[in-house]
Amino acid sequence: MLTTRLRPECCLPRIRPSRGFTLVELMIGILVGTIVVAGVIALYITVIRGSAFVVTEARVTQDTRISMDLMASDIRRAGYSHPSRIEVSEETGMPENPFMDETRNITIHDHDGGTANCILVSYDPTFQYAPEDASLEFDLSDLIGSRQFVFGYRLNSAGVIQILASSDVTTTESCADGSWEALTDPRTIRVNSLVFSTEGSTCLNTSLDLSSDSGNTEDDAFWEAEEESRSFCEQAYNGALEPDRDNVLIESRQIRVTLEAADRSSGNTQVTFDESVRVRNNRIFAVEAN
């Protein structure tokens, strides 16, 4: 018969109770976890804000870039005329272009409290001209009231660039005439500044005697518009003129356009454009010395 011998209680192995986290360890763990989560959230917010900034900047840049491209396109075309509209003056022998006379030449104006923030140009929009009535040659009867041939851009006091959208404007003498439409979105973009100038335009007197006996120098025959100038050859040429004859002047025109715009909601996103646009059509005309 088998008998079971019980081990004395003193000889049984001691079972140690499982040890948990102390309060200090729990607090340290919670603190570390909070720091990690806060870092992840901060990184996420930074990425979201950065993405929003990039999107806003792209929108402002794109909208103002479109406005700049439209303005540059019309400025480059200024003075273009179909050859059939150009008449040669019997008095001076110079071509008389209806889109380059004093009432339709490029002009820069002040508008709505701003300075040099409006420009008007004119050109032939048809690119062809074959009037049935010969009496219509050299005039604009086929355009007036039916086709727009004066184009303009201006900045109003609300920070919106407007474009001239009217076929009843026939001169470039005033920015207050005709109907204008918003070109930039007034809900999202504020244009803080739009300035035009003739900086870089030049004038050359081809009739001036530059021989050594004349006393004239090359500087007397040449003029260049300075910064913030609004004038062209006729108003600003201060060189010498040959007396008792018509002086033939060649005007090479250039318009400098500076534009500053920002996001209307916050104003933190700003873009700036500064471009010089060369007019493709030079102006040739005659002036007589006083």
Whole-structure pTM value: 0.78
Number of other residues whose CB lies within 10 A of the CB of residue 137: 14
* 3-class secondary-structure state, position 115: coil
Position 94 scores a pLDDT of 83
Position 16 scores a pLDDT of 64
Q: What CA–CA distance (Å, rounded) separates 76 from 104?
A: 15
Q: How many residues does the chain have?
A: 290
Cβ atoms 127, 82 nearer than 8 A: yes
Position 83 scores a pLDDT of 82
Cβ atoms 143, 81 nearer than 8 A: no
Strands 189-197 and 161-164: unpaired
Position 182 scores a pLDDT of 96
Position 266 scores a pLDDT of 77
For the chain, how far is it from start to end, CA to CA, in angstroms?
A: 152
Rounded to a whole number of angstroms, the CA Rg of the chain reads: 37
DSSP string, the chain: ---PPPPPGGGSPP-PPPP---HHHHHHHHHHHHHHHHHHHHHHHHHHHHHHHHHHHHHHHHHHHHHHHHHHHHHHHTT---GGG-EE-TTT--EE-TTSSTTTS-EEE--TT-SS-EEEEE--SSS----SSGGGTTS-TTTTTTS--EEEEEE-TTS-EEEE--SS---SS-SSSS-EEE-S-TTTEEEEEEEEE-TT-EEEETT---STTT---HHHHEEE--TT----HHHH--S---TTSEEEEEEE-EEEEEEEEEETTTS--EEEEEEEEE-SS-EEEEEE--
pLDDT in tens, the chain (290 residues): 555 555 555 555 666 666 667 777 788 888 888 888 888 888 777 776 666 666 667 778 888 999 999 999 999 999 998 887 888 888 878 888 889 988 899 999 999 999 999 999 999 988 666 555 555 555 677 787 778 999 999 999 999 999 999 888 999 999 999 999 999 999 989 999 999 999 999 999 999 999 888 888 888 899 898 888 888 887 777 888 888 888 889 999 999 999 999 988 877 788 999 999 999 999 988 887 76
